[in-house]
Amino acid sequence: MTVIAERLEDALARISDGCMLAAPNESAGVSMEATRALIRRGIRRLHLVALPTSTLQADLLIGAGAIATLETSAVSLGEIGLAPRFTAAVKSGAIVMKDATCAALYAALQAAEKGIPFMPLRGLIGSDLARYRPEWRVIDNPYGHDDPIVLLPAIKPDVALFHAPMADRAGNVWIGRERDLAILAHAAKATVVTVERLHEANLLDDPVLAAGTLPGVYVDAVAVAPRGAWPLGLPDHYTADMAHLADYARLAATAEGFARYLGEHVDVKRAA
Amino acid sequence: MTVIAERLEDALARISDGCMLAAPNESAGVSMEATRALIRRGIRRLHLVALPTSTLQADLLIGAGAIATLETSAVSLGEIGLAPRFTAAVKSGAIVMKDATCAALYAALQAAEKGIPFMPLRGLIGSDLARYRPEWRVIDNPYGHDDPIVLLPAIKPDVALFHAPMADRAGNVWIGRERDLAILAHAAKATVVTVERLHEANLLDDPVLAAGTLPGVYVDAVAVAPRGAWPLGLPDHYTADMAHLADYARLAATAEGFARYLGEHVDVKRAA
Amino acid sequence: MSSARPEYGEEELLASVMADLIGDVRLVAVGAASPIPATAALLARERGGGRPRVSLLQSRKHNFFTDGGVELFDCAGQGRVDVFFLSGAQIDGEANINLVCIGDPSRPTVRFPGSFGSAYLYYVVPKVILFRTEHSRRTLVPKVDFISAPGTSPDNVYRPGGPVALVTGRCLFSFERRKRRFRLESIHPGHTLAEIEEHTGFAFDRADEVAVTPAPSAETLRIMREVVAPEVAEIYPHFAAKAFRIGAAA
Amino acid sequence: MSSARPEYGEEELLASVMADLIGDVRLVAVGAASPIPATAALLARERGGGRPRVSLLQSRKHNFFTDGGVELFDCAGQGRVDVFFLSGAQIDGEANINLVCIGDPSRPTVRFPGSFGSAYLYYVVPKVILFRTEHSRRTLVPKVDFISAPGTSPDNVYRPGGPVALVTGRCLFSFERRKRRFRLESIHPGHTLAEIEEHTGFAFDRADEVAVTPAPSAETLRIMREVVAPEVAEIYPHFAAKAFRIGAAA
């Protein structure tokens, strides 16, 4: 049964040092509140899979020393520019960067979703991405003639973590058209969700809401975190806090500035 | 651009003799109105792919001589019993029956959805289904050791045909949680939909409705057909007409009775 | 009906047996046209205070899947579906099931509806409970004519799942995968070993003394009739009318 | 700025060039951080009376996908996405693009955000329009340091898609897949062939006389400013403020 946690920290208990953590990008719903709580807890050695890209979440975790391996298709601060801690960490070799491309990450997570060991995918051949991914095997398509195709092994995260508009007390989570969140939850062994609010009725009782609902069977823990994506946006709810992100980019340009940012915005929990 | 057809027959123009037609089962939304119209038009030699099973739709098309090949996991009339025309046609060899299992049909259609030539799937090995499907190839899982796994070639239907609650004038179709309809539309080269009614606003403008909407980019033609799933049900809208289905089962037990059913319920169009 | 026989119907007994077989698990799924398994699953959920979660594929209300028909199979592939129920037009002593036909499949003498989800779910769901009320040499055969799904697989075939039991109108068999044989666990009240041997087309193991299937407890009967029966009646009105004498105009 | 130069900005010219490149197609998709391609796509849609359909991935209003981020890639794999836009930190003369790094990828001297969707979409979208406003020997190089996605593939590699053109701040190149070379098609008003040769790091083909890129027509400018600009401003307020002098408090 899904735990509706009183404290965010309780919901995050199953995200342990060294685990493979999967998260969506900001257009689907990033739990920044949980990300800050994990940093406060001092989480270490994460293998972060960001589907398919990341922005502040990866940069913050990297800067805080929480990430050993990052697997994603791109990290930047969007219109604000490069992600400073990501860039510095890759250049210094502080993290292992597994560069991917969006479609390959989707396919590998969908392989886990379907319980199959691998998924074939077009493209990829001749990209240097493949040179650094020996696990991407090229086979001859059994249904073609001299037709090489890449196989991608399934990615099965230990935990998926994201933010969504609402959940009910049975653990059903309304994700709307952000189906990436369903792929993550289906593929991962466990799923932790923060939500803007609890919906008092069962989301599955209304056929219109049910169409956008991830069933609680996939969801291990839910915690309420109003504006939990801040300073990123949540689609149809609030936009990104661009001024804050610009401040972040400025501070995070140096290790000292980043430490100051952590002190001001992460080390102390926001007032509810 | 999607055509919102004045006449159902116009929407069906792209479903031609000999094509591969894909349809969902009755728990997702079967367009029985379109099925009757196709029979009236005298359609022939269909390769029907029923995802993952069928009931009256396949039986009616078979009885009317419209089907050359049927690819599905089961055909019956549910609680009413066996599907009489299906049973007779398989026994006499009048149709080619490609027996499948639900998960294999989903995987093969999802291969088309992902633009990949095949999809691997667990199970299947040792089933006699595989004995009659030489196109289901067994390979050794490249990520395992002595680990045989079946590959299923993609199924790419020419046309997907189904019934849904509503569409808007841009061709967006509200399918709710019946995601099988999206798989069919994504996999097929063209999609024809009948709906209970037109929704005057754009379905994508409302985030809650958008979560259950198939975008018009996949939809070639829409026609309005109130109670278009009758005598089958449409989830959350109306239930199956069990008395009518029982009558059908009784009549369709013989070729003569089936001809009488066609004369009474198919040859003449229902009043709107 | 013997005068010593407690006051419950055959369907209630079978549902009670199946509910006990479900055990303490997270998720039970029930396919179409399965009123007794549906009753058993809802009974297990009610007795477990909401655990296991139950998805009745034929129900709108008791089916929590929202990703279409594919979700059951994906969910099972992920290892999340603990229990599923399968039947067979024929079931043989190695737990192979036939849902397709008798005779040459291209010109069969008898044709059944088809394999449904069996050729996948039988492999990946850890506890598959086989059920077939009709216990006869017609249904329980030495060897099935067509293997929709095999009871066991060679060691190198990925197979986390498979049959654990077979519930019939006469008895309960367990299945031992290693030995590829059924074992008679208990005989339903009112039935005999001789009768079971007469009507079973395959050989099976048994103890010298075979137990009698326990009758449903008063509490189980109460829950089944008061809480579960109305839920089942929404999906299977004819069945509920017969099994529980409730609902259904027909 | 020459006094003969018509009254339009560089962004308007580039959007007009890209809109012409789109042609008569069914579906155009535009990725994140692509304000000029977004302007071009919306302009093409407006001029075509609703055709092509346009999906701006960064927009809520102008993104019709409802199946999550995966849908663009599936849709492209199905062959339904006719046009996409890609950029590169480096682009070389064989249309290889680099979005990853310079130097050893495990210890690069320069690191870019990453490959995004390029290593898939570049292969399957029939018309990929490359764009890079900065036209310099830093961006247009003889050979990229890292191939995020190759401009061409061997004949046996499944590749229905690939680059058709490269739009820079100075000119328009077409790309000839067979020859694996760019061809200078037209030089933007105010720029010269000598300047382009000086600032391009790779060799390219050209006619003896290279055309001047046509200025946007008055009607195109009107549609762009009156209809498209407000739509673009909702997604890219800073860009719209600069390019169209509208909206955006900042």
Task: Choose, out of A105, A113, A124, A143, the residue to mutate when testing the contact with B (most B CBs < 10 Å).
Answer: A143
Residue written as token pair 């493979």: A20
d(CA C228, CA C43): 6
- What is the value of pTM for the model shown? 0.96
Chains touching A by CB (3 or more pairs below 8 Å) = B, C, D
Contact B217 D53 (CB under 8 A): yes
Cβ–Cβ under 8 Å, residues C97 and C149: yes
Contact A142 B139 (CB under 8 A): yes
- So what's the pLDDT on residue D6? 54
Contact D122 A123 (CB under 8 A): yes
Residue of D nearest to A29 (CA): D68
Which segments of chain A have a pLDDT < 70?
270-272
- So what's the pLDDT on residue C6? 55
Alpha-helical (H) ranges within B211-241 are none
Query: Cβ atoms within 10 A of the Cβ of B7, count?
Result: 10
The complex's ipTM works out to: 0.96
- So what's the pLDDT on residue C250? 35
The answer for B 37-56 residues in CB contact with A (under 8 A) is none
Task: Choose, out of D74, D121, D157, D159, the residue to mutate when testing the contact with B (most B CBs < 10 Å).
Answer: D74
Q: Which of B128, D57, D216 has its CA nearest to residue C146?
A: B128
d(CA C38, CA A71): 43
Which segments of chain D have a pLDDT < 50?
1-5, 248-250
Ramachandran angles phi, psi of B74, nearest 5°: -175, 145
* DSSP element (H, E) containing B197: strand B190-198
Contact D66 B186 (CB under 8 A): no
Q: Which of A66, A74, A70 has its CA nearest to residue A40?
A: A66
Q: Classify B165 as helix, strand or coil.
A: strand
d(CA D53, CA D47): 12
- So what's the pLDDT on residue D3? 42
Residues of C in contact with A116 (CB under 8 A): 77
Asked if the C-beta of A71 comes within 8 angstroms of chain D's C-beta atoms, the answer is: no
What is the tens place of the pLDDT at every residue in C78-119?
A: 999 999 999 999 999 999 999 999 999 999 999 999 999 999
The answer for residues whose C-beta is within 8 angstroms of residue A138's C-beta and 6 or more apart is A125, A130, A148, A149, A150, A151
In the predicted model, what is the mean pLDDT of chain B?
Answer: 96
Q: Looking at CA atoms only, how far is residue B111 from chain D in angstroms?
A: 10
pLDDT reading at B234 higher than 50: yes
Mean pLDDT, range B230-244, rounded to an integer: 95
pLDDT reading at C139 higher than 90: yes
Residue of D nearest to B110 (CA): D74
Q: Can chain D be said to touch chain C, i.e. do they have 3 or more Cβ pairs within 8 angstroms?
A: no
- So what's the pLDDT on residue D246? 67
Q: Which of B168, B235, B162, B165 has its CA nearest to residue B206?
A: B168
What is the tens place of the pLDDT at every residue in B4-49?
A: 999 999 999 999 999 999 999 999 999 999 999 999 999 999 999 9
- So what's the pLDDT on residue A271? 61
Angstrom CA distances, A219 to A223, B6, D164, stand at: 11, 45, 45
For residue B97, give both structure tokens: 């029956």
Chains touching B by CB (3 or more pairs below 8 Å) = A, C, D
Asked if the C-beta of A222 comes within 8 angstroms of chain D's C-beta atoms, the answer is: no
Task: Choose, out of B156, B183, B186, B219, the residue to mutate when testing the contact with D (most D CBs < 10 Å).
Answer: B186
Q: Given C27, C74, C124, which is nearest A186 (Cβ)? A: C74
Asked if the C-beta of A149 comes within 8 angstroms of chain B's C-beta atoms, the answer is: yes
